[in-house]
A and B are shown apart, each in its own frame.
Chain A
């Protein structure tokens, strides 16, 4: 948006070369609502004369409650570009701004203060080198100040400016400033920033923004802009090992096979040995191909195409790495997770985990604790609510290649995607692989599933009966079990109530416990199917996500979902266990259909309507389905 000022350059080429060689500082502004973040950036741009005339003139046209007197310009409006932001006078989403001074280039992300939009603050913070935390002098440290400081430190931001704003509104008192700084330093001690620079400012009036203010003679440090221009950033770590996440395999013709991607860290030269992370295959780099010609060497950040000396198996999601310093390859690891979604993160639920180029099914196997952002103290938790941060054990369906986030921001991060809404519901920072993932390998059994089922002359299956309490699941399953038994088939019925008396007796009926309930029974069903059995599972299993999780555990075609469809009033009328009467009287919490939802199956293999049909006929219908499946085989 803005360019280097004040030089009418004669030699434009020389000027451009100099301009291009300037370092870039990526920073964010954060803090609580109304602490003045957008105003501060507006002030920086305005005072540095980096705002175009038509944009300034436009501010006059935009009516806002904040600029009602028409005399003062509301600088925040330079940034708050969305209708809803102007209406509410808050920042909802990150705005990126670009500016340069004679010393440095800047990319600034103005991030929202409102707790509801923490995800957008994380968006800005994930690529920033420095954070400006704003504090309102009249308010001191607030919860959002702590939250944002914690997230900034978690995401690897090393340098912090503590902007004690609105200092004019407390009469430029040194004492107020000192107290806030002391409080903040005490709090931030735990967070491990490399540097924290406090500055008293008034974003609205420009004190200590571009130049030192006469109103704060007691402050001797640099003004904000001067500090941003000169703060020493950590030099790029030359010694970081080579990491190349494979983005895509390029095969334009039979003679060319290249691996395209952006170098996440380290350097690579033609002739260097590399290893395919997931398989351990060794080869070397034959050529580094770009449109501008082949390169002898390439380093961090470059988007190139590598041609390898040997045919190796490395598709998207894999990583080419330095042989002497390999990343972890594991399917279980510990990570810090920031949760964004209004529906909570539930251990046991299946999500999609996405790294820069890889994508796998994943579940959180254990939520070890959540971090209280006010105190940084660990607290026990069963689920993560929106904007909470937790430490989790994560299990992926297939191994992924990664580094610890602390060692490598690019290869140590992941996002969590909801399988149904496709929303990005969480972000993760990997701590370390879990040892059990390294040491426990699948034991290849001599007598396998097909041998076992062949002996029984049957196809193993998991028949998953789902439906409301009292819909008739167990009755139909019982009938079917009898028929199969009479035919000499080997089957077993897992009933919800019975399993809760034993294996799952420690579980209650909260959403978290229901997820775990289903996970365990699905694992048991899987083992039984592996033994060659036809397993009948009769569980209410009200949530689509968990039924999908169970389906994905089984082999293709092995999971047969049977929707036992009975209207709620009919179930309540039958009420075989007298539960509806209690639930409707409010005596049972979380009762499916009454006080807890039932998600109707969308792609059940069998849909049985019980009203007007006898259980035996419905059981025979399932038996027919199994016969046909056997014939198709």
Chain B
């Protein structure tokens, strides 16, 4: 009997997670609090049952996440009892880097890419599991499940190793690390279907509710705290919105929606005509943006 689709994806992911643990001495899972991270966390709980995942979860905090995300993160760590590490780039705090003052590029580079590099070095992690999927973006479609990074954390597409069957080459040289993407073959739709079936808790921002938003550059930006500057010609409106993807609140657009439950979201997805990354400002600021960021060490 062949496995049905979701169980096949689940087994493939569990295999990759275990493989990272079996072959690396100090792995970590990157936890960004979004839906993919939530699925990754759930799969890690499954992979080592009856034990807990034998690695910590690292959240690279940019200080500009939605407040609900941070509350959710702390609640999950408490309830599931996993080891949560939070890292913020102190240099970025000292320079008071932010998306409004410095723009999305500088903010993302300093508070995400550099912060991640710092954290990996600080704890000496040799492998970092992450919930990235190939269907998110064109350069992600080219990623391996086990993806080698240089000692400078850079991704070189031409140095990617051939990856045949489930026989992964997990050897790294001095200073090199591995990024591991167990959810590579999942689509956005699979993620939601799995969240439904497994009843995985997710941040409430994914569900439609009335939220204060400003229309800016064709996107609906939620006013999450007082740091958001409101231009004279802008108006804060209460609208029924939700998020398809979560990042820093000033860089993440909301979509108008009535979908208030996971089945609603799935139903909505069957008719939607835009990709989830459309609402992510950082993907569209230039052509090849994601690839460039990955070369610098973004995950």
A residues in contact (CB < 8 Å) with B: 1-5, 7-9, 12-13, 15-16, 19-24, 52-55, 58, 61-62, 78-84, 86, 92-98, 105, 107, 119-120, 122-123, 126-127, 236, 247-248, 250, 252, 256, 260-262, 289-292, 299-303, 305, 316, 340, 352, 354-357, 409-410, 413-415, 417, 421-424, 427
How far is A304 from B126 in the complex, measured between Cα atoms in Å?
A: 26
Can you list 7 residue pairs at the A/B interface with Cβ under 8 Å? A1-B135, A55-B275, A95-B142, A97-B135, A289-B50, A291-B45, A413-B164
How far is A52 from B273 in the complex, measured between Cα atoms in Å?
A: 5
Contact B270–A301 (Cβ < 8 Å): no
For B39-63 the 0/1 string (1 means CB < 8 A from A) is 0000001111111100000000000
Contact A93–B142 (Cβ < 8 Å): yes
How far is A301 from B165 in the complex, measured between Cα atoms in Å?
A: 13
How far is A101 from B213 in the complex, measured between Cα atoms in Å?
A: 36
Picked from A12, A107, A256, A260, the residue with its CB within 8 Å of the CB of B267 is A12
Contact A301–B46 (Cβ < 8 Å): no
Contact A256–B162 (Cβ < 8 Å): no
How far is A422 from B23 in the complex, measured between Cα atoms in Å?
A: 14
Contact B15–A262 (Cβ < 8 Å): yes
For B6-29 the 0/1 string (1 means CB < 8 A from A) is 111011101100110110000000
Contact B269–A3 (Cβ < 8 Å): yes
How far apart are B172's CB and chain A's nearest CB, in angstroms? 6
With A1-B275, A82-B139 known to touch, is A16 a contact of B193 (CB < 8 Å)?
yes
Q: B212 at interface (Cβ–Cβ under 8 A)?
A: no
Q: Give the interface segment out of B74-82, B85-93, B94-102, B180-188.
A: B180-188
Q: B215 at interface (Cβ–Cβ under 8 A)?
A: no
Q: B271 at interface (Cβ–Cβ under 8 A)?
A: yes
Q: B160 at interface (Cβ–Cβ under 8 A)?
A: yes
Q: B137 at interface (Cβ–Cβ under 8 A)?
A: yes
Q: In this complex, what residue of B is CB-closest to A16? A: B193
Known contacts A98-B134, A422-B172; 5 further A-B pairs (Cβ under 8 A) = A19-B193, A21-B4, A82-B291, A291-B46, A303-B12
Contact A248–B18 (Cβ < 8 Å): yes
How far apart are B275's CB and chain A's nearest CB, in angstroms? 4
Q: B200 at interface (Cβ–Cβ under 8 A)?
A: no
With A79-B141, A82-B291, A93-B157 known to touch, is A52 a contact of B274 (CB < 8 Å)?
yes
Q: B158 at interface (Cβ–Cβ under 8 A)?
A: yes
Q: B166 at interface (Cβ–Cβ under 8 A)?
A: yes
Q: B121 at interface (Cβ–Cβ under 8 A)?
A: no
How far is A95 from B144 in the complex, measured between Cα atoms in Å?
A: 10
Contact B185–A96 (Cβ < 8 Å): yes
How far is A83 from B287 in the complex, measured between Cα atoms in Å?
A: 9
With A16-B196, A92-B157 known to touch, is A409 a contact of B165 (CB < 8 Å)?
yes
Contact B167–A355 (Cβ < 8 Å): yes
B residues in contact (CB < 8 Å) with A: 1-8, 10-12, 14-15, 18-19, 21-22, 45-52, 134-135, 137-142, 157-158, 160-167, 169, 171-173, 176, 184-185, 187-189, 193, 196, 263, 266-267, 269-271, 273-275, 277-278, 284, 287-288, 291-292
How far apart are A311's CB and chain B's nearest CB, in angstroms? 19
Picked from A8, A83, A105, A414, the residue with its CB within 8 Å of the CB of B167 is A414
Picked from A54, A107, A352, the residue with its CB within 8 Å of the CB of B274 is A54
Contact B135–A98 (Cβ < 8 Å): yes
Picked from A58, A86, A301, A427, the residue with its CB within 8 Å of the CB of B11 is A301
Contact B266–A302 (Cβ < 8 Å): no
Picked from B6, B12, B162, the residue with its CB within 8 Å of the CB of A427 is B162
Contact A262–B46 (Cβ < 8 Å): no
The listed residue with most A CB atoms (<10 A of its CB), out of B12, B45, B48, is B48
Picked from A13, A83, A97, the residue with its CB within 8 Å of the CB of B291 is A83
How far apart are A10's CB and chain B's nearest CB, in angstroms? 9
How far is A82 from B139 in the complex, measured between Cα atoms in Å?
A: 6
Q: In this complex, what residue of A is CB-closest to B8? A: A301
How far apart are A125's CB and chain B's nearest CB, in angstroms? 8
Picked from A62, A96, A126, A354, the residue with its CB within 8 Å of the CB of B184 is A96
Contact A301–B3 (Cβ < 8 Å): yes
Chain A residues, CB < 8 A from B45: 291
Q: In this complex, what residue of B is CB-closest to A249? A: B22
How far is A52 from B284 in the complex, measured between Cα atoms in Å?
A: 15
Contact A303–B14 (Cβ < 8 Å): yes
How far apart are B48's CB and chain A's nearest CB, in angstroms? 7
How far is A2 from B164 in the complex, measured between Cα atoms in Å?
A: 25
How far apart are A303's CB and chain B's nearest CB, in angstroms? 4
Picked from A21, A107, A247, the residue with its CB within 8 Å of the CB of B185 is A107
With A97-B141, A424-B162 known to touch, is A316 a contact of B22 (CB < 8 Å)?
yes
Chain A residues, CB < 8 A from B188: 1
10 nearest A-B pairs in the assembled complex, by CB-CB distance: A81-B138, A252-B51, A126-B164, A119-B162, A291-B46, A291-B49, A52-B275, A303-B14, A303-B11, A54-B278
Contact A3–B270 (Cβ < 8 Å): yes
Contact B14–A12 (Cβ < 8 Å): no
With A13-B263, A423-B161 known to touch, is A302 a contact of B270 (CB < 8 Å)?
no
How far is A413 from B4 in the complex, measured between Cα atoms in Å?
A: 25
Chain A residues, CB < 8 A from B162: 119-120, 122-123, 340, 415, 424, 427
How far is A120 from B134 in the complex, measured between Cα atoms in Å?
A: 16
With A84-B158, A127-B165, A303-B11 known to touch, is A52 a contact of B278 (CB < 8 Å)?
yes
Q: In this complex, what residue of A is CB-closest to B161? A: A424
How far is A61 from B288 in the complex, measured between Cα atoms in Å?
A: 11
How far is A584 from B189 in the complex, measured between Cα atoms in Å?
A: 68
Picked from A13, A58, A415, the residue with its CB within 8 Å of the CB of B164 is A415
How far apart are B53's CB and chain A's nearest CB, in angstroms? 11
With A20-B4, A55-B275, A248-B18 known to touch, is A256 a contact of B167 (CB < 8 Å)?
no
